[in-house]
Amino acid sequence: MKKEREKKLKIYVAARDACFSKRKEGVWDDGALQITQQLLSSNPDFGTLWNYRREILMHLETVKDEDEVQKIYEAELSFLESCLKVNPKSYGSWHHRGWVSTRLPRPDWARELGLCDRCLNLDDRNFHCWDYRRMVVKKSGVPVDRELAFTDRLIGSNFSNYSSWHYRSTLLPLLHPESPEPLPSPRRPPPRSSPPASPQNHSHRVCEAQLLKEYELVQNAFFTDPNDQSAWFYYRWLLGRGESSPASLLLVFFKRTSVHPRFKHSPVWICDLPPGTISDVTNEHNLTVHWMERHAHRDCALYTGRTESWCRDSATDQELFRSELSVEKTSVLQSELQSCKQLQELEPLNKWCLLTIILLMRALDPLGYEKETLAHFQTLREVDLMRSAYYSDLCSKFMIENTVLKMEYAEVRVFSISDKKLTTLCHLDQLLLVTHMNLSSNQLQRLPPQFSMLQCLEVLEAENNSIEDLEGVFHLPRLEEVLLKNNKISTLADLRPLASCPKLKRLDLRGNPVSGLEEVEAALTELLPSVVDLLL
Partner 1 sequence: MAAEDLPSEFDVVILGTGLAESVVAAAFSRVGQRVLHIDRRSYYAANWASFTFNSLLTWIQQHHEEPQPEELQDWSSLLEEGEELIYLSNSDSASIRNVQVFCFTSEEDEEEGAPSTKEDDRGAADGDAVKETPESQSADAKDKAKKQKAEEEEEEEEEEQASQTKGEELSAAQSQSEATRKKISYAQLVKEGRRFNIDLVSKLLYSRGSLVDLLIKSNVSRYAEFKNVTRILTYRHGNVQQVCTISLYTCLFTFEVTFYLFVCVCVCVYIPPFISLCMYISPHLSVSQVPCSRADVFASRQLSVVEKRKLMRFLTSCVEETDEQRAYKARPYLEFLYDQRLGENLQHFLFHSIAMATEDTTTEEGLASTRHFLRCLGRYGNTPFLFPVYGLGEIPQCFCRMCAVFGGIYCLRHSVNCLLVEKDTNRCKAVIDSRGQRISCRHFVVEDGFVAVDRKKRATPPRFLSRAVLITDSSILPSSSDQQVSMVTVPPVAAGCPTVRMVELCPSTMTCMAGTHLVHLTCQSVGSAFEDLSPLVTTMFRTTESPDRETSPSVLWCLYFNMADGSGLDVKGHDLPSNVFVCSGPDGGLSHEHAVRQAEWIFKQILPEEDFCPPAPNPEDIIYNGENASSTGEEEEEEEEEQNKQGEGGEEWKEEGKEEGEGVEEGEEGGDVLEEPSDGGVMFSSTNLTTTPAMH
The residues binding partner 1 (CB under 8 A) are 118, 121-122, 156-159, 219-221, 223-226, 339, 342-343, 346-347
Pairing state between β 459-461 and 436-438: parallel
Tell me if 218 sits within 8 A of 234, measured CB to CB. yes
The residues near 349 (Cβ < 8 Å, ≥ 6 apart) are 379, 383
Phi, psi of 481 (to 5 degrees): -130, 130
Cα(464)–Cα(483) distance, rounded to whole angstroms?
Answer: 10
Tell me if 435 sits within 8 A of 459, measured CB to CB. yes
Q: What is the CA 135 to chain-centroid distance, rounded? A: 25
Burial group, residue 427, by CB count within 10 angstroms (0-12, 13-18, 19+): middle
Cα(494)–Cα(523) distance, rounded to whole angstroms?
Answer: 13
Tell me if 417 sits within 8 A of 442, measured CB to CB. yes
Cα(528)–Cα(503) distance, rounded to whole angstroms?
Answer: 10
Phi-psi region of 475 (alpha: psi -120 to 50; beta: other; left: phi over 0): left
Nearest to 206 by CA among 228, 179, 229: 179
Nearest to 141 by CA among 162, 112, 115: 112
Cα(95)–Cα(41) distance, rounded to whole angstroms?
Answer: 15
67 residue type, one letter: D
Cα(532)–Cα(277) distance, rounded to whole angstroms?
Answer: 36
Tell me if 380 sits within 8 A of 391, measured CB to CB. yes
How far is the first Cα of the chain from the last one, in angstroms, to the nearest whole number? 76
CA 242-243-244 angle, to 5 degrees, is 100
